[in-house]
């Protein structure tokens, strides 16, 4: 059993060692490559970025990203290169256009609706309190009047 | 007003249900291709069986055709070969774009053209040969420029070299009738 776990350990060690090391000309390029591979989405797999996926197309995109970054292209240029081939789908940050407008509008609309509901509810509550105190005041006075009348009646009788 | 407020959660629930229900039948792989109505990207790639013969986008102009991305490693491509062969017999021009998977050096794989040629010839002999010829994209450069995510994928290209349709997945009688036949025939005229 022990040998089995040891061999597992060995296996992971060799698996890690087989990943190629990439050398960058500058730390900025390394950061850009990391950022891009995390923001670009693998078009074959559903919902994995290309840093995370080993699908053939993801590996190709990673290599292309590296090539473009090493050529000195900036983030926008690389994104444009990918989008012109694989569409807006390939970037996790969707652009603002008529199809995606709802993504920006919906939260605002929901916040607006929430505020509206709260305001209406508060107003209704205030009305209810006012009505309740009004309702109570009225019979109290009437009852007292009736009581006074009764006392008056009994006084006269006696 | 009270009654209206009572119906709001119900309406929201119905809306959400319809949205989620329609999601059950939508295809997550289906999306607008960004190469549509654009010319075939420039390339220079060898013929699979006659590597000395180089194909370019320019050479392919003149007649509408299907550009079928495939590979012997791809099971679905294998399955569509027979129907594509039928289409060829009906007079549809089909050019193969051979999708070569990367050889994994860690497993001692080396690209071997002669072996690949033999494998492809054997496969086409067994399953039917729909292709006028095959273009070998060893490093998947044209495939990358076309926004291909896997195999099989098929492009309908007109006589001027403009991409008119991009189909992801196999071509079977149903797909051909519903999606490609009309477009192809309109290009033929």
Asked if residue B92 lies in contact with residue B66, where contact means CB atoms within 8 angstroms, the answer is yes
Asked if residue B149 lies in contact with residue B139, where contact means CB atoms within 8 angstroms, the answer is no
The residue ranges of every structural domain in chain A are: 19-90, 96-158
Set of chain A residues whose Cβ sits within 8 Å of the Cβ of B146: 85
CB-CB under 8 Å, B34 with A87: yes
Residue A50 gets which letter from DSSP? T
CB-CB under 8 Å, B34 with A83: yes
Class of domain A19-90: mainly alpha
Residue B132: its pLDDT value, please? 95
CB-CB under 8 Å, B147 with A86: yes
- Please, which residues bridge with residue B96 across strands? B68, B134
Phi, psi angles (nearest 5°) of residue A126 = -60, -45
Asked if residue A58 lies in contact with residue A47, where contact means CB atoms within 8 angstroms, the answer is no
At A106-152, the pLDDT tens digits run 999 999 999 999 999 999 888 888 777 666 666 778 888 999 999 99
How many residue contacts between A and B have a Cβ separation below 8 Å?
36
- Enter the pTM of the model: 0.76
Minimum distance, in Å, between the CA of residue B90 and any CA atom of chain A = 32
At B152-165, the pLDDT tens digits run 999 999 999 999 99
Minimum distance, in Å, between the CA of residue B91 and any CA atom of chain A = 31
CB-CB under 8 Å, A60 with B147: no
Query: B101 touching A, CB under 8 A?
Result: yes
Cα gap A24→A33, rounded to integer Å = 9
Pairing of strands B163-168, B94-99: unpaired
The residue ranges of every structural domain in chain B are: 37-188
Domain boundaries B37-188, corresponding CATH code? 3.40.30.10
Dihedral angle, C-alpha B35, B36, B42, B46, nearest 10 °: 90
Q: Read off the tokens for B104.
A: 């994994």
Set of chain A residues whose Cβ sits within 8 Å of the Cβ of B169: none
Residue B59 gets which letter from DSSP? G
CB-CB under 8 Å, B32 with A43: no
Pairing of strands B163-168, B153-157: antiparallel
At B18-57, the pLDDT tens digits run 999 998 988 777 777 888 999 999 999 999 999 999 999 9
Residue A136: its pLDDT value, please? 63
CB-closest option in A57, A64, A84 to B149: A57
What are the percentages of helix, strand and coil residues in chain B, rounded to 5?
40, 20, 40
**What size, in residues, is chain A?**
158
Asked if residue B169 lies in contact with residue B150, where contact means CB atoms within 8 angstroms, the answer is no
CB-CB under 8 Å, A57 with B150: yes
Q: Read off the tokens for B36.
A: 């549509």
Identify the segments of chain A with pLDDT beneath 50.
Answer: 13-18
ipTM, two decimals, is: 0.83
CB-CB under 8 Å, A89 with B148: no
Set of chain B residues whose Cβ sits within 8 Å of the Cβ of A83: 34
């Amino acid at each position: 059993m022990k040998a089995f776990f040891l061999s597992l350990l060995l296996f992971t060690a060799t698996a890690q060692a087989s990943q190629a090391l990439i050398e960058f000309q500058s730390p900025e390029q390394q950061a850009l490559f990391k950022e891009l591979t995390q923001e670009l989405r693998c078009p074959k797999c559903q919902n994995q970025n290309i840093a995370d996926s080993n699908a053939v197309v993801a590996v190709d995109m990673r290599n292309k990203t590296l090539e473009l970054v090493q050529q000195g292209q900036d983030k926008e240029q690389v994104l444009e290169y990918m989008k012109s081939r694989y569409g807006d789908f390939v970037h996790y940050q969707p652009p603002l256009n008529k199809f995606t407008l709802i993504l920006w509008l919906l939260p605002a609309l929901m916040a607006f609706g929430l505020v509206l509901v709260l305001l209406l509810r508060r107003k209704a509550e205030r009305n209810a309190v006012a009505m309740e105190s009004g309702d109570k005041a009225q019979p109290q006075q009437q009852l007292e009047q009736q009581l006074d009348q009764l006392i008056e009646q009994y006084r006269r009788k006696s | 007003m009270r009654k209206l407020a009572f119906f709001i959660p119900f309406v929201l629930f119905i809306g959400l249900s319809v949205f989620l229900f329609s999601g059950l039948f939508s295809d997550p792989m289906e999306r607008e291709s960004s190469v549509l109505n654009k010319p075939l990207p420039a390339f220079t790639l060898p013929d699979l069986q006659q590597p000395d013969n180089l194909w370019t986008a320019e050479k392919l102009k003149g007649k509408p055709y299907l550009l079928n991305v495939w590979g012997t490693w791809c099971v679905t491509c294998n399955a569509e070969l027979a129907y594509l062969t039928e289409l060829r017999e009906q007079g549809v021009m089909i050019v193969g774009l051979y999708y070569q998977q990367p050889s994994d050096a860690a497993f001692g794989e080396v690209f071997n053209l002669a072996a690949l040629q033999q494998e492809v010839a054997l496969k086409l002999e067994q399953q039917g040969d729909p292709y006028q010829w095959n273009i070998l994209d060893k490093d998947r450069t044209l495939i990358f420029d076309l926004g291909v995510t896997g195999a099989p994928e098929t492009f309908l290209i007109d006589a001027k070299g403009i991409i008119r349709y991009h189909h992801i997945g196999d071509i079977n009688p149903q797909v051909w009738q519903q999606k490609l036949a009309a477009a192809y025939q309109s290009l033929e005229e």
